[in-house]
């Protein structure tokens, strides 16, 4: 079946995640990706048009994956608070492994086309929306204070999670899965519940 081609693509993307993740776009070498995928260098070009193409496909793959993880993470909590904690934890375990890299590599570089930049922005907005929706549900259920600015609140949550991980992992040297964001979330919730 056609699965073999798809299988190979996956295999190359896996390798790419490793190498791009470690080196960033420019320092990553196609040869190394091929090695990691245990195929010949030129075989990569049978599946992807160029280094840039491979990179962008990888980003798409990761984004898609992340998005689905987020959705299922949110299903794991009942209350608004639980959902967000679950989201935070998920962000820690799964994402830290590569999403950030992707964001970083992308931010200021023409390595990636405008097209994919927009696409990524779309994913980011989707996530933002999902979280904002969770908050709205929290308001409806009375868990959160009615008057809050949900947009601002969402920014606080997303930003805090990022920063929280950064502080605990980079400064304190914890592994993402060991980071504890509960105190931070509690503090945020105190505000969201209103005085």
Partner DNA sequence: TATGAATGAGATTTCATTCAT
Partner DNA sequence: GATGAATGAAATCTCATTCAT
The answer to whether 5 contacts DNA (rule: CB under 7 A) is yes
Asked whether position 35 contacts a copy of itself by CB under 8 A, the answer is no
Please say which residue, 14 or 75, places its beta carbon nearer to a copy of itself.
Answer: 14
Q: Report in angstroms how near the CB of residue 55 gets to DNA at its nearest.
A: 9
28 binds, among DNA, a copy of itself, none (CB under 5 to 8 A by kind): DNA
Nearest approach, Cβ of residue 183 and a copy of itself (Å) = 4
- For the segment 122-161, give every residue that binds a copy of itself (CB under 8 A): 124-125, 128, 148-149, 151-153, 155-156, 158-161
Q: Which two tokens stand for residue 155?
A: 């920014």
The CA R_g of the chain, rounded to the nearest whole Å, is: 19
User: Coil, strand or helix: which one is 38?
Assistant: coil
According to CB under 8 A, which one of 100, 119, 126, 174 is a site residue for a copy of itself? 100
Output the smallest distance, CB 140 to a copy of itself, in A.
Answer: 18
The first and second tokens of residue 174, run together, are 């914890």
Q: Is 23 helix (H, G, I), strand (E, B) or coil?
A: helix
Burial class for 125, CB neighbours closer than 10 Å (0-12, 13-18, 19+): exposed
**Cα–Cα distance, 52 to 28 (Å, whole number):** 11
Q: What is the DSSP string of 42-65?
A: HHHHHH-SSHHHHHHHHHHHHHHH
Spatial separation of the C-alpha atoms in residues 79 and 91, rounded to whole Å: 18
- What is the C-alpha to C-alpha distance for residues 34 and 177, in angstroms, rounded to an integer? 30
Nearest distance from C-beta of residue 187 to DNA, angstroms: 45
> Looking at 10, 36, 41, 143, which residue binds DNA (CB under 7 A)?
41
Contacted by 9, from a copy of itself, DNA, none: CB < 5 to 8 Å by type: none
Interacting residues toward a copy of itself by CB under 8 A: 21-27, 100-101, 104-105, 107-111, 121, 124-125, 128, 148-149, 151-153, 155-156, 158-164, 166-167, 170-171, 183-184, 186-195
């Amino acid at each position: 079946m056609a699965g073999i081609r798809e299988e190979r693509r996956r295999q190359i993307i896996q390798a790419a995640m490793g190498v791009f993740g470690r080196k960033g776009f420019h320092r990553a070498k196609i040869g190394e990706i091929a090695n990691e995928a245990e195929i010949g260098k030129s075989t990569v070009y049978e599946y992807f048009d160029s280094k840039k193409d491979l990179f962008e496909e990888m980003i798409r793959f990761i984004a898609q994956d992340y998005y689905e993880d987020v959705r299922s993470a949110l299903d794991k909590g009942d209350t608004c608070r639980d959902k967000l904690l679950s989201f935070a934890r998920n962000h820690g375990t799964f994402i830290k492994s590569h999403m950030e890299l992707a964001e970083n590599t992308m931010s200021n570089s023409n390595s990636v086309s405008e097209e994919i930049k927009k696409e990524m922005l779309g994913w980011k907005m989707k996530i933002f929306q999902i979280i904002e929706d969770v908050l709205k549900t929290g308001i409806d259920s009375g868990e959160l204070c009615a008057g809050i600015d949900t947009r601002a609140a969402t920014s606080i949550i997303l930003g805090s999670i990022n920063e929280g991980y950064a502080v605990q992992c980079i400064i304190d040297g914890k592994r993402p899965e060991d980071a504890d964001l509960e105190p931070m979330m509690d503090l945020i919730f105190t505000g969201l519940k209103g005085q």
